[in-house]
Amino acid sequence: MADLSTDFLGIKSPNPFWLASAPPTDKEYNVRRAFEAGWGGVVWKTLGQDPHIVNVNGPRYGAVWGADRRLLGLNNIELITDRPLDVNLREIKAVKRDYPDRAMIVSLMVPCEEQAWKDILPLVEDTGADGIELNFGCPHGMSERGMGAAVGQVPEYIEMVARWCKQNTRMPVIVKLTPNITDIRYPARAAKAGGADAVSLINTVSSITAVDLDSFSPEPSIDGKGSHGGYCGPAVKPIALNMVAEIARDAETHGLPISGIGGITTWRDAAEFIALGCGNVQVCTAAMTYGFKVVQEMAAGLSEWMDEKGYASIADFQGRAVPNVTDWQYLNLNYVAKAKIDQESCIKCGRCYAACEDTSHQAIAMSDDRVFTVKDDECVACNLCVNVCPVDGCITMEQMAAGQTDPRTGQVVSDDYANWTTHPNNPGAVKAAE
Amino acid sequence: MSNSETTPGVVPGRLADAAYKSNFDDLYGPLDAHEAVVAADRCYFCHDAPCVTACPTSIDIPLFIRQIQTGMPKAAGRTIFDQNILGGMCARVCPTDILCEGACVREAAEGKPVLIGRLQRFATDTVMDSGAHPYSRAPSTGFRVAVVGAGPAGLACAHRLAMNGHDVDLMDARPKLGGLNEYGIAAYKAPDGFAQAEVDWLMQIGGITMRTNVRLGRELALSELQDDYDAVFLGVGLAGVNALRAEGEEHDNVHDAVDFIAELRQAPDKSKIPVGRDVVVIGGGMTAVDAAVQSKLLGAETVSLVYRRDQAQMGASEHEQLHAASKGVRIITGAAPLRVLGDGVVTGVEFAYTEQGPEGLVLTDNTFHLKADQVFKAIGQRLDEAPGGLQLDGSKITVSGAGRTSLPGVWAGGDCAAGGDDLTVTAVAEGRDAAEDIHATLMGQASVAAE
Ligand SMILES: Cc1cc2nc3c(=O)[nH]c(=O)nc-3n(C[C@H](O)[C@H](O)[C@H](O)COP(=O)(O)OP(=O)(O)OC[C@H]3O[C@@H](n4cnc5c(N)ncnc54)[C@H](O)[C@@H]3O)c2cc1C
Ligand SMILES: Cc1cc2nc3c(=O)[nH]c(=O)nc-3n(C[C@H](O)[C@H](O)[C@H](O)COP(=O)(O)O)c2cc1C
Ligand code: SF4
């Protein structure tokens, strides 16, 4: 059996699955039940200064659904904890005492003044917590008060606050990043420059999930008005994966520990984040959708996959995908593939045909008796048919072997690697050759 | 209630009142809004969808299902009615397992098709329950068309003609409109007066004058209709029934299944319908199955359905057969009646097993006999008598193109016309297409005359 335990900044947990700072970690009752269900650690719901903030008294969430009303994206206008600081601190201490083997991280958000941080850090240390996470990500409510994303969008502030924290506590410091910025590498570099031990990402993405077509209010609607919220859940996973990869392969931040967050719903999602360099993962929406029990599927699935692949520990595959993330210009233009439709598993829905015929390359033929076949002389291997086919594995992309002639271009497939930088159509490449 | 399932003879009231109510209630019932969305979510919105090809009226099924899925069931209903104005009845009676749902790619994928029939009902019910009729008439053309027979073929034809601006006289021999929708379809498929409600809803188009209790061949003559109207459509169905041609057929309590079913459909109180303790139904089509199932639902103790060919050749779909079996009907295939036994009143039927010989089906010496105090014959219907001068194709009216008969200005469609399956939905398609052909012909004549 694979060893799922992790050591992240010296913080040990029996598995890499932590609950992200959010409602699931807002109180002792929840966190105890989460640990009983098997979560490896939690990042406690973000603490702030007293007097504690208040939340709206109407709907906080909006959503986007897929078929069968499966929740694909959730958005919220909730703020940080709305309970008094001392209540939270007391509960954190009690839970940590009873679950010494689980990771207990405390998320913090106080104003951008050194004294505010100096005041709160010893209180957290006193709970016996294993580390802190700086919430520089919340995109609503707190950012208007100069906290959360308002800090996370300014690299200089990130660096400054991270440094204050490092100077005022012995606990490891994780900086949680907001995705609501153009280039995630800048805040990550700033966190590292400030001395942060790790970054975690992503927090939620600014969003409006829907507009009520009777009242013309954005959702979720509070008395006829709505405000942008933070988007999370399966829909944001691709955004998060990309940002994680950017940090993992950036020369300046390469090697900086990362806690991956954003849309992690299954063991497979978690494995992907870890393959892109994360030391562990955090989950919010999946738990809010299905309850704490989902961690059991995640842990069992990850373990089984690791056994199948022969990975004894998380470190064995951590970061294995990072070297394979490259820039478009370095992709091999001599790699040629063609779509192939397996007639055995084809159910003849014709969606590949509609997609390719109407919107792509007219590379699928349809016979009178609904047999769908790929025209190799038209197929550009774009993958759209694979993506719209309802049957997993029915359409595959088959690489053409070197020496074969691509019927579309008439050119012989070469096994030499050649990319855009040297391509004759690239004005830059032509210049270089002159 | 003094009778029970084991009371000998042909008697009413074999069951408790509550049993009649539940037995003849809606077989599947409507989907609620949640169920409809869950079912609609399963549709793949196929390209050139096989279900549409399989529907005789070519309803744009993926489109209407997507409309349900996006919260627009009325628009979905409109998509259905555009092709099939009796989409409400078809949703209830179509053998979807051999039509749209049989062609559904999810049948191929998982053996579980999208519930097209029930989604169709959801959409059409939504429109019809709103009371409003979604179509209006084109400006009057001044043409008058006679539609004889107000079954699905005649109704679909009349509606489309009226919509196109023609004035229609719709005539039927029976006291109520609807044809077999009213007098034939199994009671549990269209309960609560749905057939008449549908007729009333459809008539809201306007421009259709109804005449009931008038029979072609009695009050009406085809030649007069040809003289009095610009076109004639015949949708008279198959009013005659085939004879068994077996000894003893004339015994008491040997009935035509269609008469029994018509009586049953018209009876407001099913407990008043007498039924045998041991019922034998002869035939293998929808009529035979419906007579057998409904005998059982009326409280018959044993019901046997005997069909002379093998199971695969039965007219009733596999789904219908399974339904019958689930209600306790015993289906015997490959046996034909030799003689009806009895002494004035039927007591049983003697059958011989059959074999496929080189010249067709032959009876073997292997015989058996079934006890019966009531026998229903359901071995096919035919045209009662062909209206004068029409060329026939076997026992049906010869047609070409969209229902053109051998007589100029006379169209025919539905069960009475040759070709096509004897199904409600086929009758609708043929009535609709004939109406469009009549429309094109009349408008073509008008423009030639104008030149
Ligand atoms: C018992 C039974 C059950 C069935 N169940 C199903 C089912 O579940 N699903 C399905 O798809 N199909 C079913 N069918 C078949 C379906 O009912 C018919 O295919 C369909 O009704 C044919 O429509 P039509 O308009 O051609 O004829 P009909 O519905 O038969 O209508 C003909 C009309 O013409 C009138 N008429 C007849 N002769 C004259 C005349 N000389 N003058 C004036 N009017 C006349 C009749 O009174 C009748 O109203 C069933 C049939 C039967 C008998
Ligand atoms: C209702 C709600 C409240 C949240 N509150 C916080 C918070 O207080 N502090 C914080 O750092 N992140 C907060 N988040 C963000 C989550 O921790 C997490 O970063 C984000 O939801 C992405 O992960 P997911 O896709 O697994 O949900 C919140 C998310 C939700 C849905
Ligand atoms: S890969 Fe793209 S171009 Fe090729 S068949 Fe599929 S959809 Fe068409």
Higher pLDDT, A410 or B383: A410
The answer to whether residue A210 sits within a structural domain is yes
Q: Is residue A268 part of a domain?
A: yes
Shared domain check, A219 and A103: yes
Residue B119 has pLDDT above 60, yes or no: yes
3-class DSSP state of B354: strand
**Cross-strand pairs, B353:** B335
Residues A389 and A318 in one domain: no
What's B44's domain CATH number? 1.10.1060.10
CB contact under 8 A, B41 and A67: yes
- Dihedral of the alpha carbons of B244, B247, B250, B255, in degrees to the nearest 10: -40
Q: What is the DSSP letter of A66?
A: -
**Does residue B136 form part of some domain?**
no
Q: Does residue B163 lie in a domain region?
A: yes
CA dihedral for B79, B83, B88, B94, sign (positive or negative):
negative
Domain that holds residue B179: 144-239+388-450
Nearest chain A residue to B110, by CA: A347
Both B259 and B165 in a single domain?
Answer: no
With respect to residue A138, please indicate whether it lies within any of the assigned structural domains: yes
Among residues 342-371 of chain A, which lie with CB inside 8 Å of chain B? 347-351, 353-354, 366, 370
Q: State the Cα angle at B289 between B284 and B293, rounded to 5°.
A: 155
Q: Please say if the pLDDT value at position B239 is more than 90.
A: no
Mean of pLDDT values over B140-166: 98
Q: Which residue from A379, A395, A396, A406 has its CB within 8 A of the most atoms of ligand 3, so it is best to mutate?
A: A379
Q: Is residue B138 part of a domain?
A: no
B113: exposed, middle or buried (Cβ count in 10 Å: 0-12, 13-18, 19+): buried
Which one, of A77, A76, A101, A82, lies nearest residue A26 by Cα?
A: A82
Residue A386 near residue A342, CB atoms below 8 Å: no
Indicate if B39 and B119 belong to the same structural domain: yes
Of residues A337, A327, A374, A336, the one with CA closest to residue A355? A374
CA separation (Å) from B121 to B129, B286, B425? 11, 21, 14
Residue B332 and residue B393 in one domain: no
With a cut of 80, say whether residue A140 has pLDDT above it: no
User: Is the model more confident about B238 or about B388?
Assistant: B238
**Strand order, beta sheet including B278-282:** B254-256, B374-377, B278-282, B302-307, B330-333
- The bridge status of strand B392-393 relative to strand B396-397 is antiparallel
Does one domain contain both A44 and A144? Answer: yes
Q: Which ligand is nearest to the CA of A273?
A: 2
**Which of A295, A324, A353 is the last residue before a domain boundary?**
A324
Domain count, chain A: 2
Residues B345 and B364 in one domain: yes
C-alpha–C-alpha distance, residues A93 and B442, integer Å: 90
By the 10 Å C-beta count (0-12 exposed, 13-18 middle, 19+ buried), A23 is classed as: middle
Q: Is the pLDDT of residue A434 over 50?
A: no
Which DSSP state fits B275?
B
Q: Does B44 contact A68 at a Cβ distance shorter than 8 Å?
A: no
| Percentage of the residues of chain A whose pLDDT score is greater than 70 | 98
Give every strand in the sheet of B410-412, ordered side by side: B208-211, B167-171, B144-148, B231-234, B410-412
One-letter amino acid identity for B424? T
pLDDT at A430 over 90: no
Mean pLDDT score of chain A: 95
DSSP type of residue B137: P
Say how many C-beta atoms besides its own lie within 10 A of residue A55's C-beta.
Answer: 15
Same domain membership, residue B168 and residue B91? no
Position B1 pLDDT exceeds 60: no
Interface check for A388 against chain B (CB to CB < 8 A): the answer is no
Run of H or E including A95: helix A85-98
Whether residues A357 and A306 share a domain: the answer is no
Task: Report whether A65 contacts A126 (CB < 8 A).
Answer: no
Mean pLDDT, rounded, for B101-120: 97
Q: Is the dihedral of CA B28, B32, B37, B38 positive or negative?
A: negative
CATH number assigned to the domain comprising residue A366: 3.30.70.20
CA distances from A388 to A337, B38, B62 (A): 18, 20, 16
Nearest CA to ligand 2 atom 18: A203
Longest dimension (CA), chain A: 77
* Minimum CA distance residue for ligand 3 atom 6: A385
- Please indicate, yes or no, whether residues A246 and A347 belong to a single structural domain of this protein: no
Same domain? For A255 and A376 the reply is no
Residue B229 lies in a domain: yes
| Residue A1 counted as domain residue | no
Catalytic pick from A112, A138, A346, A349? Answer: A138
CATH number where A300 lies = 3.20.20.70
Residue B139 maps to a domain? no
Residues B246 and B368 in one domain: yes
A382 close contact with B: CB closer than 8 A: no
Asked if residue A151 is part of any domain, the answer here is: yes
Task: Render pLDDT for A315-367 as a digit per residue (tens, 0 to 9).
Answer: 999 999 999 999 999 999 999 999 999 999 999 999 999 999 999 999 999 99
Q: Which atom of ligand 1 lies at the shortest distance from residue B426's CA?
A: 19
- Write the burial class of residue A36 (CB in 10 Å: 0-12 exposed, 13-18 middle, 19+ buried): exposed
Active-site residue flag, A138: yes
User: Given the structure tokens 């993958």, which residue do they identify?
Assistant: A383
Q: Which ligand is nearest to the CA of A105?
A: 2
3-state helix, strand, coil in chain A (%, to 5): 35, 20, 45
3-state SS assignment for residue B417 = strand
| φ/ψ (deg, to 5) at B383 | -60, 135
- Claim to verify: residue B277 and residue B373 sit in the same structural domain: yes
CB contact under 8 A, A347 and B106: yes
3-state secondary structure at position A362: coil
Under 8 Å between Cβ of B142 and B450: no
In a domain, A204, yes or no: yes
Same domain, A344 and A311: no
The reply to whether B269 and B369 lie within a common domain is: yes
pLDDT > 90 fraction of chain A, expressed in percent and rounded: 93
Same domain, B288 and B332: yes
Find the domain containing A32 and state its range.
6-324
For Cα atoms A340, A342, A343, give the angle at the middle one, nearest 5 degrees.
Answer: 125
Statement to judge: residues B318 and B350 lie in one domain: yes
Q: Which residues, 6+ apart, have CB-to-CB distance to A308 below 8 Å?
A: none
DSSP state at residue B291: H
**Residue B322 CB contacts under 8 Å (≥ 6 apart), including other chains:** none
Number of alpha carbons in the 13 Å side-chain half-sphere of residue A265: 18
pLDDT per residue over A250-263, tens digit each?
999 999 999 999 99
Note whether A306 and A369 are same-domain residues: no
Could you tell me if residue B271 is inside a domain?
yes
A87 CB neighbour count, 10 Å cutoff: 13
B349 and B364 share a domain? Answer: yes
Of the candidates B153, B80, B82, the residue with the CA atom closest to the CA atom of residue B121 = B80
Residue B330 clears pLDDT 80, i.e. is over it? yes
Q: Does residue B184 surpass a pLDDT of 90? A: yes
Residues A144 and A205 in one domain: yes
Q: What angle do CA B288, B291, B292 make, to 5 degrees?
A: 85
Q: Which of A19, A25, A17, A18 is nearest to A46 (CA)?
A: A25
Q: Please indicate, yes or no, whether residues B424 and B327 belong to a single structural domain of this protein.
A: no
Q: Give the residue, by CA position, lying nearest to ligand 3 atom 1.
A: A381
Domain count along chain B: 3
- B254 belongs to a structural domain: yes
Name the DSSP letter for residue B414.
Answer: G
CA–CA gap between residue A199 and residue A191 (Å, rounded): 7
CB contact under 8 A, B48 and A350: yes
- Residue B98, judged by CB atoms within 10 A of its CB (0-12, 13-18, 19+), counts as middle
**Do A148 and A274 have their domain in common?**
yes
For B344-376, the pLDDT digits (tens) are 999 999 999 999 989 889 999 999 999 999 999
Query: In this structure, are A357 and A312 located in the same domain?
Result: no
Final residue of a domain: which of A304, A324, A344?
Answer: A324
> Does A350 contact B109 at a Cβ distance shorter than 8 Å?
no
- Least Cα distance to A196 among A218, A167, A217 occurs for A167
Q: Does residue A149 share a domain with residue A20?
A: yes
Nearest-5° angle of CA B110, CA B83, CA B391? 110
CATH of the domain at B366: 3.50.50.60
Mean pLDDT (chain B, rounded): 94
